[in-house]
Amino acid sequence: MLPKLHPTKIDIPENARTALVGLLNARLADAVDLATRMKQAHWNVRGPNFIALHELFDTVHGAVLVHVDDIAERVTALGGTAQGTAATAAAESTLPPWPADILDGADHVEAVSTSLACFGQAVREAIAEAGEIGDADTEDLFTGVSRDIDKNLWLVEAHAQA
């Protein structure tokens, strides 16, 4: 059973809002998971590029937190309930498992870039789905997230390239 929506005067039909809330909450779970991964990398990275990666992962974390908030607030604007707990993220995230035993900077760069790329792909799919549902605002929100995630992926991947 789908959760009941809260009343709103937004002129998007209830069935579309219900679908959008589901889509947004799915990406919210991924975004919360992604944010925790950035802190995991930030706290545990070691090696000759420590300070650069430590600061980069913290910067990416901050950017992801903005997306978490924007996605959650879009859910509530549509009359839904944002499902943004750590428990929900752990149960619902579609990101691949995080390698828990890594310390080396290169291994963290690989894990972070994989997570960013997977999230970016899911967000691009969400852009298309929001468009099919007919909500340009949610589509636009996801487009902005996609653009920023791609930029951060580029910054992280640059550390793996000669």
3-state secondary structure of 104: strand
Overall number of domains in the chain:
1
Would you say residue 122 lies in a domain? yes
Would you say residue 129 lies in a domain? yes
What was the pLDDT predicted at 2?
A: 58
- Residue 2 one-letter amino acid: L
What was the pLDDT predicted at 126?
A: 98
Kindly report, residue by residue over 127-158, the tens digit of the pLDDT: 999 999 999 999 999 999 999 999 999 999 99
CA gap 23, 128 in Å, rounded: 11
Would you say residue 81 lies in a domain? yes
Would you say residue 14 lies in a domain? no
What was the pLDDT predicted at 34?
A: 98
Would you say residue 31 lies in a domain? yes
CA gap 141, 67 in Å, rounded: 9
What was the pLDDT predicted at 4?
A: 87
8 CB-side CA count, 13 A = 18
Kindly report, residue by residue over 30-44, the tens digit of the pLDDT: 999 999 999 999 999
Contacts of 139 (CB under 8 A, 6+ apart): 127, 130, 131
CATH number at residue 45: 1.20.1260.10
Would you say residue 57 lies in a domain? yes
